[in-house]
Structure 1
Amino acid sequence: MSTVIYPSPIFGPVHSRRLGISLGINLMPADGKVCTFDCIYCECGFNADHRPKLRRPTREEVAEKLEAKLKEMKTEGQLPDVLTFAGNGEPTAHPHFAGIIDDTIELRDKYCPKAKVSVLSNTTMADRPEVHAALLKVDNNILKLDTVDPDYINKVDRPVSKTYDVKKIIETMKSFNGHVIVQTMFMRGKTGSEDVDNTGEKYVGPWLEALKDIKPQQVMIYTIDRETPDHDLLKASHETLDAIRDRVIEAGISCTASY
């Protein structure tokens, strides 16, 4: 099984299909994965396969390492397009996430004021007041919504909490009043003997209606790009993604597709 465990707290820069030259910020331990989802398509593998022994980086460590990397990149004349909170799990699970966002914005303004601050989150903690307030401060508040079907979510995204409620997630997304980018994975294939194709009308139609309620500034749809821990998953085709993208645009919402 080929998986990616990212260094912590800073990795890259890497080229993101959706964001450009991205300097990654990983708030999880450098030797494993800590996430409130256990997605069957996660490039970092399954949670149980990568239990960390190291601790999370502190707020001070994140700021120190980020500043050092930005100084280096500025000297080399290659500043990032975006500072992206991602890595080995859910970034908003860090106990000092809000303070780290404040530090990151301050460092961005000092070294690379044109760069955007982005957070890739599964939305499970976005209703917490301090997390919600922090996400309102970033340029790209990118929240995951692969479907609105609870059975599919439990089969594919596999929330760790048994109280996960997609209706509550949608309400949280709505509470950002448009300051949200919805990110959705579309794919085909199977997990075990069960089909996981979410590109048909059964899933796309209700998902599109949820987007109309959320009123995001943008939607990013994508498909599998790297090896997945569940090896029976397949990419959605260009044609399929384009058709879904066009339906979102027809609904009056900006949408991009990454293949």
Structure 2
Amino acid sequence: MATVLYSSPVFGPVHSRRLGVSLGINLLPSDGKFCTFDCVYCECGFNKDFRPKNPLPSREEVKAALETVLKERSEKGLALDVLTFAGNGEPTAHPRFAEIVEDVLILRDRYFPNAKVSVLSNATQLHRPDVVEALKRVDNNIMKLDTADEEYIRRTDRPTGHYDVKKVIEQLKEFAGKVIIQTMFMQGTVDGKEVDNTTDVYVLPWLETVKYIAPSKVMIYTIDRETPDHDLRKATPEQLDRIAALLRRCGMEVSVSY
């Protein structure tokens, strides 16, 4: 099984399908996963197979490593579109996430003032006021919502702790538009049971939910790399285009990654 684990605390830059030239900030250990989801489609593999032994990087380590890279790229005139909190799990699970965001914004302004700061999150830490306030400060607050159906989430995203999709939806609504919704569409089977959130059974309730949240943008995408569960398939371009058209019909801005 091919997996992708990222260096910590800084990796890349990589060319993101959604964000451009992106320098990654990994607040998780480089030797394994540290996540509040255990998604069947995660490029980093299943949590149980990649339990980290190393500690989380400290705030000081993140700041020093990031400044080194940003200073070098600035001096060489190398382009950078975005600084992205991502990596080997859930970035907002880091206990000093809010303080690290503060450091990153300062360094961004110093070296690459035109670059955006993005966070890719599964929205499981929105019960923490410090996380919410930090997310409100970044340029792209990108929160996962694969469906409004709790059973589907438990089968595919597989939360590792308490998860209440209705509560998460209300928390996303509270951003008052300062949020981007990202949704993975796919097909296949998990443990012998069909999963396919491209059908109207899932798409229409999800669409109503997204309208209720009223995000600034919706990012829809599908599988791009090998998944730990090999019985999954990409959503087709036609399926993604249909979903995008439904969103645009509701006046929403949408990006599609095939």
**TM-score in same-fold range (> 0.5):** yes
Q: Does 1:21 align with 2:34?
A: no
Question: What SS does the corresponding residue of 2:196 show, helix, strand or coil?
Answer: coil
- Tell me by how many angstroms 1:76 deviates: 2.2
Which residue of the partner structure matches residue 82 of structure 2? 82
In structure 2, how many angstroms separate the alpha carbons of the residues matched to 1:59 and 1:169? 27
In structure 1, how many angstroms separate the alpha carbons of the residues matched to 2:179 and 2:109? 22
1:98-150: per-residue Cα shift (whole Å, max 9, x none)? 00000000000000000000000000002310000000000000000000111
Q: Matches of residues 37-76 of structure 1 in structure 2 within 5 Å?
A: 37-76=37-76
In structure 2, how many angstroms separate the alpha carbons of the residues matched to 1:192 and 1:155? 9
Q: Matches of residues 70-149 of structure 1 in structure 2 within 5 Å?
A: 70-149=70-149
- Tell me by how many angstroms 1:173 deviates: 0.3
User: 2:9 is aligned with what amino acid?
Assistant: P
1:195-248: per-residue Cα shift (whole Å, max 9, x none)? 111100000000000011100000000000000000110000101100100101
Task: Please provide the CA RMSD for this pair.
Answer: 0.6
- Tell me by how many angstroms 1:192 deviates: 2.6
In structure 2, how many angstroms separate the alpha carbons of the residues matched to 1:56 and 1:80? 26
Aligned partners of 1:70 and 1:79 also within 8 Å? no
User: 1:172 is aligned with what amino acid?
Assistant: Q
Which residue of the partner structure matches residue 239 of structure 1? 238
User: 1:100 is aligned with what amino acid?
Assistant: I
Which residue of the partner structure matches residue 250 of structure 1? 249
- Tell me by how many angstroms 1:167 deviates: 0.3
Which residue of the partner structure matches residue 192 of structure 1? 191
Normalization by structure 2: what TM-score? 0.99
1:146-201: per-residue Cα shift (whole Å, max 9, x none)? 0011110000000001x200000100100100000000000011113111111000
Percent sequence identity is 62
Question: Structure 1 residue runs of 4+, over 2 Å off?
Answer: none
In structure 1, how many angstroms separate the alpha carbons of the residues matched to 2:187 and 2:73? 39
Question: What SS does the corresponding residue of 1:196 show, helix, strand or coil?
Answer: strand
Normalization by structure 1: what TM-score? 0.99
Aligned partners of 1:143 and 1:180 also within 8 Å? yes
Q: Does 1:173 align with 2:172?
A: yes
Unaligned runs of 5+ in 2: none
Unaligned runs of 5+ in 1: none
User: 1:160 is aligned with what amino acid?
Assistant: T
User: 2:196 is aligned with what amino acid?
Assistant: D
In structure 1, how many angstroms separate the alpha carbons of the residues matched to 2:256 and 2:51? 33
Aligned partners of 1:181 and 1:216 also within 8 Å? yes
In structure 1, how many angstroms separate the alpha carbons of the residues matched to 2:250 and 2:171? 21
Which residue of the partner structure matches residue 160 of structure 1? 160
